[in-house]
Structure 1
Amino acid sequence: MSSAQGSGAMGVFGGTFDPVHYGHLRTALELLEYAELAQMRFMPAGVPPHRATPHADARTRVALVQAAIEGESRFCVDDRELRRDGPSWTVDTLRELRSEHGARPICLVVGMDAFIGLTSWHRWEEILDLAHLLVAHRPGWQAPADGVLGQLLRERRVDTGAALHASRAGRIGICAVTQLEISSSAIRELVRAGREPRYLVPDPVCRLLAASGCYKAAAERH
């Protein structure tokens, strides 16, 4: 794991990052600034329970994220889910982080689409005991007004990112982020077709994709 600033509120940004792209990076930066985070941890999923198996292997995906965030001291990679056997349950990751960081505020980054599906998550009720939720709001999605999630928002939503620093967990912040229509699947298809993904990913990622041949090899396996 790369090191970054070791105190202050921490963000946790999970995903397959297959591959990481500018949409991920811009969202991470905007949320970091909104919540005044000291650090944003990119957490590549090992065995995502609700998604297909990643196309690139774990080592390559970590290397891609490391290449993407080089030069931004507030970003780091945490590969614990890749080193853990079994499904990459978010609640297990948060329990580990909480045991390591005591009362440090932890903000779990989720998209509004993921937040809307929160009640389907494994042991979802425990998540807000362990972390805040930092919701990336994009056009086309609306925060729930009714039901369990509507009630949760009425009870726990904060008006500013700075308010997430007042406690270690349990609050919900929502931040509108820039919508960049970039998808990892489209990048994989470009690479497989021998086309250039430049300007969709940082140049170091572009070079690593070309050198590794990971998506062409993955296409052959699949």
Structure 2
Amino acid sequence: MKRIGILGGTFDPPHIGHLIIAQEVLDSLQLEEVWFIPTYEPPHKNEASVPVGNRIEMLQHALTNNELFQLNTIEVDRAGKSYTYDTMIALREQYPEADFHFIIGADMVEYLPKWYKIDELINLVKFVGVKRSGYKLETNYPIIEVNIPLVDISSTLIRKRLQENKSIQYLVPESVHTFIKEHGFYAQK
């Protein structure tokens, strides 16, 4: 049975925090791969700042140097708001032999009671919780806790820094930084 981690998100933009989380969980749980699944439109957030095609391109740049990190566009292909429950039903149908581990930050661990069909979802996937500044890894739902180096970087922080004309060097992979600069994403309006 193939052990696969799933890291979902808007990736607006992808940053080194995403990559650190994926690598730490991969190593800690001895996973074979981590699939990055960008959302077309997340159910719990406003729409993304950058069109989905560009977010996918940035993610492709971010994942280039790790053959164990894969891009999966299942939620983008479905379009509209995506719920993890629907994604996991589809993935289990496509990969019945896979053992899926859904990686979430502590902010999402606290939000689990509000997830769509959470009681059914916990039977489809193992949740892996990682620490995030300002949040606790506390829930009544079963989660596997993985300790990671606490790197307080978020896509929101990166967008804010770019709008304030501040550097994001070293916060995102160099190829993502170059892509953002070339396209003028997140710049001051």
Deviations, residues 23-81 of structure 1 (Å, cap 9, x unaligned):
11101110111111111011111111111111011011111111011120000111121
Which residue type is aligned with residue 74 of structure 2? R
Counterpart selection for 1:99 from 93, 100, 112: 93
1:180 to 142, 145, 151: 151
What CA distance in whole angstroms lies between the structure 2 residues aligned with 1:197 and 1:78?
26
In the TM superposition, residue 138 of structure 1 has moved relative to its aligned partner by 4.0
Q: Which has the higher helix share?
A: 1
**Aligned equivalents of 1:139 and 1:196: distance in 2?**
22
Mapped contact 1:41–1:76 kept (Cα < 8 A): yes
| Number of residue pairs matched by the alignment | 189
2:74 is the counterpart of 1:80? yes
CA apart distance, 1:139: 5.7
Please give the alpha-carbon distance, in whole angstroms, between the structure 1 residues aligned to 2:133 and 2:164: 31
State the SS of the aligned residue for 1:215. Answer: coil
Rounded Cα–Cα distance in structure 1 between residues aligned with 2:28 and 2:152: 21
CA RMSD of aligned residues (A): 1.7
The CA deviation string for residues 82-129 of structure 1, in whole angstroms up to 9 with x for no partner, is 121321111111111100111310011111221122111111111122
Structure 1, unpaired ranges of 5+: 1-6, 154-171
For residue 192 of structure 1, what is the aligned residue in structure 2? 163
Q: Which letter does structure 1 place at the counterpart of 2:153? A: I
User: Between the two proteins, what is the percent identity of the paired residues?
Assistant: 29
Residue 210 of structure 1 aligns to a residue in which SS? helix
Taking structure 1 as the reference length, what is the TM-score of the superposition? 0.79
Larger Rg over CA atoms = 1
The structure 1 residue matched to 2:122, chosen from 114, 128, 132, is 128
Task: Note closer, same or farther for the CA distance 1:104–1:213 as it changes in structure 2 (3 Å cut).
Answer: same
